[in-house]
Chains A and B, each alone.
Chain A
Amino acid sequence: MPDNSIGMGAGSGSSLPLEAAPARTAGRFKAFYRKFRKQRLAFAAACFIILLLLVAILGPFLTPYNPDTPNYDALMQGPSAHHWAGTDEYGRDIMSRLIDGTRLSLAVSLSAVFIAAVLGTILGLLSGYYGGWLDRLIMRGSDVLFSFPDLLLAIGIVAILGPGLSNVVIAVAVFGTPSFARIIRSVTLSVKETLFVEATRSMGAKDSRIIWRHIFPETVSSIIVNVSMRIGGAILAAASLSFLGMGAKTTEPDWGAMLSMGRDYLSIAPHIVYFPGLTIFLAVLAFNIFGDGLRDALDPKIKN
């Protein structure tokens, strides 16, 4: 008879039935959703992020004008019913360019964070599981990377590799990796000490099996949380690099590049800067709030 776990044990068990009977984890996602839903701001941020993703995917179908076609009859017009966010110095519709640029900005930041997550997770797992000289090597390496201001490091990398969006991705990924490595290492260290990992060792499992089958799944929630927290920073970093002319070409509808171009006309047509700036601000804010909310909802130590 499969009863639920009431028998917590006479010797070590807690005595209250509410603790002795954990909720079935079939509802794990449900529980997470309920916790997350309670955080209104984070939930709103999540909705905004979904909107951004939709815009990124459906971009070409949503743009009211062709984002690249200049219109010399409507240079640097302010916001109006025709051009909601006005036009830029070539008369291109800023709204359309922002919509089109969403794809680029998200692609750059998401792929950079994804690469950082993969690299950092592998390094963190190896470092935490094996310890010893490998651990020292990886951790000292990330200390070195940590000691540079983020942006300076990225600028340095792009300076070496040359400008271009793919190099921006690499640069942002490199400075994101140590944070993943550290977080995953600390999770690994604690999971390594759990009884079920010791039990697996006692069976004679290979290290690779212990790492991937037993430890990695325990790190997934930390990875997800850190990914969502890092995306905001990555958007900002990519925009900054483009703003400095080290990322997207000025012709590309990139949020940072738009900001950079608009800088020259700040005094006569401030809206060219305002709207890309506002978009970057909202996107970064949304990802940061979303990340905080995710962390609170996934962390079992934080209750409601």
Chain B
Amino acid sequence: MNGTPLIEVRGLKKSFSIKKGFLGRTKYLNAVDGISFAIRKGETFSLVGESGCGKSTTGRLVTRLLEPNAGEVWFDGQDISHMSYNQMRPLRKNMQMVFQDPYASLNPRMKVKDLVAEPVLIHTKLTAKERDKLACELLETVGLNSQHAERFAHEFSGGQRQRIGIARALSVRPSLIVADEPVSALDVSIQSQVLNLLQDLQEEYGLTYLFISHDLSVVEHISDRIGVMYLGALVETADKDALYDRPLHPYTQALLSSVPVPDPTLPKERIILKGDLPSPVNPPSGCRFHTRCPSCMEICKQHVPAFREVEPGHEVACHLYDEEMMKLAR
């Protein structure tokens, strides 16, 4: 693993306009509100958070399926924040996506070999025969039988379809794969197969992953670094072990303690958060989390905490660590 970032995101913002009612005023949903992170080559960076926290939108901003309202996305030393679709096209050879829903993300009218080789068709000049051969090899790589190349996607189970999706992403040897909840729709016994496959492929091809998930156990298993999102903003970023051993942000702590542990003998000290996720249309003032935070202070209601490094490689946005920062500054 070398240290240069493959992806760098600075102050990224994206809002969607929503109209409320007939003649209603246009309101804005701030799906992603000023986030920054970097992913080094060969590492797996995960974004975790609950539904509506903006993690999927971030994935689509990074791959430029959406255009940011503000901020920058740098891919391999190039600013791609505002490239047009046609300018982006050749770059997409190097960044591919794997989607959550293996049922909806594969065109039901196409044969598996055509699905798998579609990026190759788009980006290279290989002949149909060469593409078929490559598709068969790729199917074997992801653990499917190459004899299935002539079938349609609906003839496969969810896990197998996700393998097809992965084979497709792999077909043009990208440097980055953005995987948006790739195992969330799969059964547990299949989920572990796909996770293992993703890890094997990373080792073999030196892939960089941006992994988006709501499942903290899955994220822990696959990631090197993790960013925790809440209501469109990053609240904590850290290396895996630091995050799971010493979660700093109260939200991360609550999130980790909420995961049901498949072991009935373990005593549970659970932080149960009050209330629901606030609406991202009217996010709370100050720290976004203050309405549910067990250690909320006065300052949290007024001032947005800065996102900064508290330990090397461990960033957090929380007023609880203001003092430590002051000490460090002195």
Contacts and interface: CB of A to CB of B under 8 A. Distances in A.
Interface stretch (B92-100, B220-228, B309-317, B319-327): B92-100
Contacts of A205: 89, 118, 122
A4 B104 CA distance: 16
A7 B190 contact: yes
A11 B96 contact: no
Interface residues of B, number: 44
B154 A202 contact: no
Contacts, number: 98
A10 to B, nearest CB: 5
Nearest to B107: A196
Interface in A190-219: 194-196, 198-207, 209, 214, 217
A57 interface: no
Contact of B157 (A6, A195, A203, A217): A6
Contact of B96 (A194, A196, A203, A206): A203
B155 interface: yes
A3 B151 CA distance: 12
A300 interface: no
B188 interface: yes
A301 interface: no
A31 interface: no
A201 B65 contact: yes
A199 B115 CA distance: 11
Contacts of B90: 204
Interface string A215-231: 00100000000000000
A205 B88 CA distance: 10
A99 B142 CA distance: 62
Nearest to B172: A203
Interface residues of A, number: 31
A203 B122 contact: yes
Given A195-B104, A196-B104, A196-B107, A202 B65 contact: yes
A26 to B, nearest CB: 9
A191 B173 CA distance: 28
A22 B104 CA distance: 14
Interface string B73-107: 00000000000010011111100110101011111
Contacts of B154: 5, 22, 24-25
Given A7-B190, A204-B92, A205-B89, 16 more contacts: A2-B148, A2-B151, A5-B161, A11-B185, A25-B108, A25-B152, A25-B154, A199-B97, A202-B63, A202-B97, A203-B92, A203-B118, A204-B88, A204-B89, A207-B85, A214-B107
14 contacts: A2-B151, A5-B154, A5-B156, A11-B184, A11-B185, A194-B104, A195-B105, A202-B97, A203-B118, A204-B122, A205-B89, A206-B122, A207-B85, A214-B107
Query: Which 4 A-B pairs have CB atoms at the shortest separation, nearest pair first?
Result: A204-B92, A9-B185, A195-B104, A7-B157
